[in-house]
């Protein structure tokens, strides 16, 4: 019963967000880039946030922004990052309290583990990326298991996620080449990845750990 109520709450927020996103003056779907794979990412992250019980402060830390920069831990135009950011933004504006909940709560789980909290709030970007990678990997795997996919369907989903990961890596390289303009490079649109070649979020989506150099970097 608790599981059903939790899923109902997550879906209610999800539908509300997509309802607003798909409103259009001329009948064009605003969120037309949210295909089935992107929605899988969105729902996996949103459900994971609720089930693990991340605080609003935790979400703000993941969605860190610095002056004249995009989201620090994400890659601009990366499809996996985009779907993940949308889920984080949706969770961030959840109701202060769930209707008639006693005690009054806005989420479910116990919160981050001590080790993940230390990583996420580290002064070192690479430590924070490692924490985000772990969270995304856990959330994607959890949703795949609850969907009870056949081997064929699971393989197809993983293949689709791999394709989006490849698009994300291409987006990162296009930023290195300043293809979006001289003022929109990696430093502005993917700040945590100035000297990194892999995306923490993309790797997490396909079940891969974040490969990081030994040296810590600001």
Reported as a single tens digit per residue, the pLDDT across 128-137 is: 999 999 999 9
Q: What pLDDT sits at residue 112?
A: 98
Strand partners, 65: 71
Contact 169, 202 (CB under 8 A): yes
Of the pLDDT bands very low, low, confident and very high (cuts 50, 70, 90), residue 111 is: very high
Residues 26-54 have pLDDT tens digits of: 555 556 789 999 999 999 999 999 999 99
pTM, rounded to two decimals: 0.84
Distance, CA of 165 to CA of 38 (rounded, Å)? 11
Burial 143-178, CB ≥16 within 10 A → b, else e? bbeeeeeeeeeeeebbeebeebbeebbebbebbeee
């Amino acid at each position: 019963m608790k599981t059903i109520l939790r899923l109902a709450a997550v879906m209610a927020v999800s539908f509300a967000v997509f309802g607003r996103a798909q409103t259009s003056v001329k009948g064009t779907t605003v969120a037309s880039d949210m295909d089935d794979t992107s929605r899988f990412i969105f729902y996996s992250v949103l459900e994971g946030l609720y089930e693990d019980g991340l605080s609003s402060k935790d979400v703000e830390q993941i969605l860190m922004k610095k002056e004249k920069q995009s989201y620090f831990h994400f890659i601009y135009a990366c499809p996996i990052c985009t779907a993940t950011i949308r889920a984080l933004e949706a969770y961030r504006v959840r109701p202060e309290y769930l209707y008639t909940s006693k005690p009054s709560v806005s989420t479910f789980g116990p919160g981050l583990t001590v080790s993940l909290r230390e990583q996420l709030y580290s002064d070192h970007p690479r430590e924070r990326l490692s924490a985000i990678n772990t969270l995304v990997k856990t959330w994607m795997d959890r949703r795949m298991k609850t969907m009870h996919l056949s081997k064929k369907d699971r393989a197809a989903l993983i293949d689709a996620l791999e394709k989006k990961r490849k698009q994300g890596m291409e987006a990162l390289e296009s930023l290195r080449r300043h293809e979006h303009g001289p003022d929109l490079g990696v430093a502005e649109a993917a700040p945590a990845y100035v000297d990194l070649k892999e995306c923490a979020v993309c790797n997490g989506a396909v079940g891969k750990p974040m490969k990081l150099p030994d040296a810590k970097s600001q």
